[in-house]
Amino acid sequence: TVPQVPPPQRARPKPSSKPAVFIPVDRSPEMQEARLKLPILAEEQVIMEAINENPIVIICGETGSGKTTQVPQFLYEAGYASSNGIIGITEPRRVAAVSMSQRVAKEMNLSHREVSYQIRYEGNVTDETKIKFMTDGVLLKEIQKDFLLSRYKVIIIDEAHERSVYTDILIGLLSRIVPLREKKRQPMKLIVMSATLRVEDFTENKRLFSAPPPVIQVDARQFPVTVHFNKRTPFDDYSGECFRKVCKIHRMLPPGGILAFLTGQAEVHSLCRRLRKAFPFRKNKVEGDGDKEDTVEEISRFKKSRRKKTMTLPKIDLDSYSVMPVDEGDEDREAETDDEDIAGSDHDLDLGDDEMEEGEKSDSSLPLYVLPLYSLLAPEKQAKVFRPPPPGTRLCIVATNVAETSLTIPGIKYVVDCGKVKKRFYDKATGVSSFRVTWTSQASANQRAGRAGRTEPGHCYRLYSSAVFGDFEKFSPPEITRRPVEDLILQMKSLNIEKTVNFPFPTPPPTDALVAAEELLIALGALQEPPKTGRLKELQKAKLSCPISPLGTVMASFPVAPRYAKMLALSKQYDCLPYTITIVSAMTVRELFEEFDRPAVSEEETEKLKGKRARVVQMQRIWAGQGASQKLGDLMVMLGAVGACEYAGCTPQFCETNGLRYKAMVEIRRLRGQLTTAVNSVCPDAGLYVDPKMKPPTAAQVTYLRQIVLAGLGDHIARRIQAEELLDEKWKNAYKTPLLDDPVFIHPNSVLFKQLPEFVVYQEIVETTKMYMKGVSAIEPEWIPVLLPPYCHFGKPMEYPPPSYCPETGKIKCHRPSVFYRVGWQLPAVEV
């Protein structure tokens, strides 16, 4: 036997000392050359020294300077990724996580097993992974499982300037995790990377970092960009204005890519279509591209071939979900017609004479290679923007604000900026949300302009006047100050952060938002109730530091909003889980049905939309079912639609025919799988398995589902205004909710629009012409005191008149014996 020699005593490395190793990377010469052009390469030594010497470093650099792609490589080469810890990078957008992991793998000549990504539904992480790109939400979930993030040697928080809520929370958490790791002698590095915007929120925030971390500024070689403002601002038709501007640039200005910023996916597609039609490919076929959308000829051939085929629907089990036979007329999809005479548009363009030398004008017959770019675009299609356009064409990318900072597209010389952005707005008091297109901020507009000067001097055409620009906000306020925070608060409570007001947020959410979130969580039973008696000051203090309850812990383990998590937590009873999982998935994904209310471009389209809408209304009525199931309303429609779609094999055709969004259906399927796994891990005896096809619920189950929905959406109750309460004719068919002073209405697209049940719960209120409730289900008032005691007053236990609504307090009053008060979460029995 070999004598036992004690291992040599190695000096412990100083926590922040440089790892001794240097890991060589085998890059191709072309890659190496391309890298050397990036401004960040000049700063490698400075950056690595700062990282070696400091636990926390902030790197600031203009978009495109190479932060995202290069810093992970610097760290890898310096030996920061090893068997006992890897490099993690968070991105606020899924697009960026996927595409950046692919890019870095390619640059380093490593496989996707080593440079991997993880986003909500998918990933390719392996045991060999050394560099892991992920969305910020993914890392937050990992912190819940392992607070010290012991798998990581380095965490890079990328795009910190975007100030997404998860990024903000992560920075707050990591500001505490880093010193803890240091204490445990397993040091970890935190690198915060940002475009050159407002880093003071991080550096000058004493609660966040006791000593301000060093900031390294990467000077990008930015070429001058000439900004041209429109003389007047087209307030409505910015899309049309964008089209005209791109056409004019393409006709009149020298070669160079065009990047146009619009606000949403539908607009992006519509502009792409118009541009492709205006400047079709004539000779140039795109080689090896395989994307049929790229030439107009191909589109029409494709459409013709589809038209000829007779559509046969997959067989559907009629006992499960009834589906109407398809009339063939619906399948006949015409290419969208767009007869605008492009040559005739002589809009007053501000293309100054200086850049339009005679003779320099380009040939207007040059084809335009038009590509869309938005965050939900399939990754293969996203990757196309990085490839050079086919020879003899001009690249034109029509993008949403993903192209603002997360992705840098090569070869852009002209930027067309509509100046708008689509944002979700919340009313803090009521939780009413609406998507609104608003002016962007000055900082964002400047970011957009900067995209034009990456490779040579460029031009930015702003489709608004300089006066309008002057009125823009300087910066967009961080997301955390603009949205409800109950999901974050629940996550924080599950990390045992009880006093959320003391949390080191880079920018704290308003206190009323914190209070609203805690109140909701208490009402849902996710937090332990604060004491009811005592001194007011103490009571108020206790209110904002309630620990999590056992129910809350279960809820926090589901990757959905707390209201939906509560629904899942109740659903093991009466075998309701598969249905609740489906309903919750559908509510989380939102917008199952195509939008038919959009303005049509032509009369023909108007007719087409009308036809489609009629069919969808018919289908919704079928899916809502008969008798008892009807009362589950729009949620029954969701259940029916998902069930029918799965029975039909979840095909694009089925979705198209029935007005469902195929993408939404695919996402629902994924989320159902994910939630099933989550339920099984929380409750192993649930024994659920993923069966996309489920039998329709029984009448009793539908009633239980209505109770479950009520328990989750308890603060979203509405009661129909009775005839005698009608103060005003315009309140006819209106509902009153405890939260709002104004009347609300059932959305015309709801299956309960005509039925007007007395008590309903709704998924959300959206404000368009009126306040509309969407996702509506009917409930029975006697369930309220059982399932939602915090929302009820209790009258005298002797008499039991039906619950009534109190207009002064806005509360629903239930005159029920307080015996009901603590029945727990058992669902009331249902007579079958």
Q: Is 465 helix (H, G, I), strand (E, B) or coil?
A: coil
* Residues of span 634-653 touching Mg ion by CB under 5 A: none
Of 92 and 714, the one with the shorter C-beta distance to Mg ion is: 92
Calpha distance 265→753 (Å, rounded): 29
Of 38 and 253, nearer to ligand ADP (C-beta) is 38
CA 688 to chain centre: 28
Question: Which of Mg ion, ligand ADP, none does 408 bind, CB closer than 5 to 8 A by kind?
Answer: ligand ADP
419 sits in the region (left: phi over 0; alpha: psi -120 to 50; else beta) called: left
Angle 572-574-577 from CA coordinates, rounded to 5°: 40
Shortest distance, CB of residue 77 to ligand ADP, whole angstroms? 16
Strands (E), 161-286: 189-194, 215-218, 225-229, 257-261
Partner whose footprint covers residue 372, from Mg ion, ligand ADP, none (CB < 5 to 8 Å by kind): none
Nearer to ligand ADP, 61 or 187 (CB): 61
Q: Of the two residues 323 and 452, which places its CB atom closer to Mg ion in the complex?
A: 452
CA distance 512 to 514: 5
Say if residue 807 is exposed, middle or buried (CB neighbours under 10 Å; 0-12, 13-18, 19+).
Answer: exposed
447 binds, among ligand ADP, Mg ion, none (CB under 5 to 8 A by kind): none
68/164 with CB nearer Mg ion? 68
Cβ proximity to ligand ADP: between 132 and 273 the closer is 132
- Contacted entry of Mg ion, ligand ADP, none for residue 38, CB cut-off 5 to 8 Å set by kind: ligand ADP
How far from 437 is each of 405, 481, 771, CA to CA, in Å? Answer: 19, 18, 18
d(CA 777, CA 757): 9
What SS3 class is residue 319? coil
Comparison of 67 and 483: residue with beta carbon closer to Mg ion: 67
User: What CA–CA distance (Å, rounded) separates 353 from 360?
Assistant: 12
Query: To the nearest whole angstrom, how small is the minimum distance from the Cβ of residue 381 to ligand ADP?
Result: 13
Q: Which is nearer to ligand ADP, 38 or 642 (CB)?
A: 38
Residue among 70 and 737 whose Cβ is closer to ligand ADP: 70
Close Cβ partners of 524 (under 8 Å, ≥ 6 residues apart)? 551, 555, 562, 563, 566, 712, 714
Sign of CA dihedral 325, 331, 332, 338: positive
The distance of closest approach from Cβ of residue 155 to Mg ion in the complex, given in angstroms and rounded to an integer, is 16
For the bound state, the minimum distance from the C-beta of residue 234 to ligand ADP, rounded and expressed in Å, comes to: 31
Which residues form the interface with ligand ADP (CB under 6 A)? Answer: 38, 61, 63-70, 99, 103, 386, 408, 410
Could you tell which of Mg ion, ligand ADP, none binds residue 701, using a CB distance below 5 to 8 A set by kind? Answer: none
Q: Which of 50, 59, 68, 634 binds Mg ion (CB under 5 A)?
A: 68
CB 495 within 8 A of CB 469: no
Which partner in Mg ion, ligand ADP, none is near 712 (CB below 5 to 8 A by kind)? Answer: none
C-alpha 737/C-alpha 805 separation (Å) is: 9
Q: Which is nearer to ligand ADP, 38 or 86 (CB)?
A: 38
Which of 74/281 has CB closer to ligand ADP?
Answer: 74
Residue closest to Mg ion, measured at CB: 68
Alpha-carbon distance of 336 to 600, in angstroms, equals 10
Rounded to a whole number of angstroms, the minimum distance from the CB of residue 448 to ligand ADP is: 14
- Smallest separation, CB 409 to ligand ADP (Å): 6
545, two tokens: 């530091």
User: Minimal distance in Å, beta carbon 424 to Mg ion?
Assistant: 24
User: Closest separation between CB of residue 67 and ligand ADP, Å?
Assistant: 4
CA 596 – CA 776 distance, rounded (Å): 19
Tokens of 125: 């992480």
Token pair, residue 415, equals 């930027």
Q: Which three-class secondary structure state does DSSP give residue 771?
A: strand
Closer CB to Mg ion, residue 195 or residue 814? 195
Work out how close the CB of 118 gets to Mg ion at its nearest, in angstroms, rounded to a whole number.
Answer: 18
Q: How far is the CB of 449 from ligand ADP (least distance, A)?
A: 15
CB closer to ligand ADP out of 375 and 749: 375
Smallest distance, Å, CB 55 to ligand ADP? 22
Site string for Mg ion, 25-64 (x = CB under 5 A): ----------------------------------------
With CB under 5 to 8 Å by kind, the binding choice for 423 among ligand ADP, Mg ion, none is none
DSSP state of 287: T
Please name the helix (run of DSSP H) or strand (run of DSSP E) that holds residue 701, with its range, or none.
helix 699-712
Q: Which residue, 147 or 386, has its beta carbon nearer to ligand ADP?
A: 386
- E strand or H helix at 746: strand 745-746
> Closest Cα partner for 119 from 485, 546, 559?
559
| CA 499 – CA 643 distance, rounded (Å) | 43
386 binds, among ligand ADP, Mg ion, none (CB under 5 to 8 A by kind): ligand ADP
HSE at residue 14, side-chain half, CA atoms within 13 A, is 7
Nearest approach, Cβ of residue 666 and ligand ADP (Å) = 24
Q: Does 491 bind Mg ion (CB under 5 A)?
A: no
Residue 36: phi and psi, rounded to 5, are -60, -20
Q: Least Å distance between CB 675 and Mg ion?
A: 32
Instruction: Note whether 591 and 641 are within 8 A (CB).
Output: no
Quick one: 384 or 813, whose CB is closer to ligand ADP?
Answer: 384
The pairing of strands 745-746 and 152-157 is: unpaired
Phi-psi region of 599 (alpha: psi -120 to 50; beta: other; left: phi over 0): beta
Partner from ligand ADP, Mg ion, none binding residue 659, C-beta < 5-8 Å depending on class: none
Query: Considering the complex, what minimum distance in angstroms separates the CB of residue 400 from ligand ADP?
Result: 17
Residue at token pair 């501000």: 350
Question: How many residues make contact with Mg ion (CB under 5 A)?
Answer: 1
Please list, in sequence order, all residues whose beta carbon lies within 8 angstroms of the beta carbon of residue 271, skipping any fewer than 6 positions away: 239, 242, 243, 246, 260, 262, 398
Distances (CA, A) of 705 to 574, 712, 779, 828: 10, 11, 10, 11
Instruction: Kindly tell me which of 62 and 715 has the beta carbon lying closer to Mg ion.
Output: 62
234 binds, among ligand ADP, Mg ion, none (CB under 5 to 8 A by kind): none
Q: Could you say which DSSP state residue 660 is in?
A: B
- Of residues 88, 102, 180, 73, the one with CA closest to residue 134: 88
Q: Count of CB atoms within 10 A of residue 260's CB?
A: 29
Site string for Mg ion, 114-143 (x = CB under 5 A): ------------------------------
Interaction partner, residue 103 (Mg ion, ligand ADP, none; CB < 5-8 Å by kind) = ligand ADP
Nearest approach in angstroms of CB 407 to Mg ion is: 8
Q: Which amino acid is at 188?
A: M
Closer Cβ to Mg ion, 68 or 263, answer by number? 68
Q: Return left, alpha or beta for 133; rule: phi > 0 is left, psi -120 to 50 is alpha, else beta.
A: beta
Q: In whole angstroms, how close is the CB of 31 to Mg ion at the nearest point?
A: 18
Q: 69 contacts which partner out of Mg ion, ligand ADP, none, CB within 5 to 8 A by kind?
A: ligand ADP
Q: Are 94 and 119 in contact (CB under 8 A)?
A: yes
Minimum distance from residue 130 beta carbon to ligand ADP (Å) = 18
Site of interaction with Mg ion (CB under 5 A) = 68
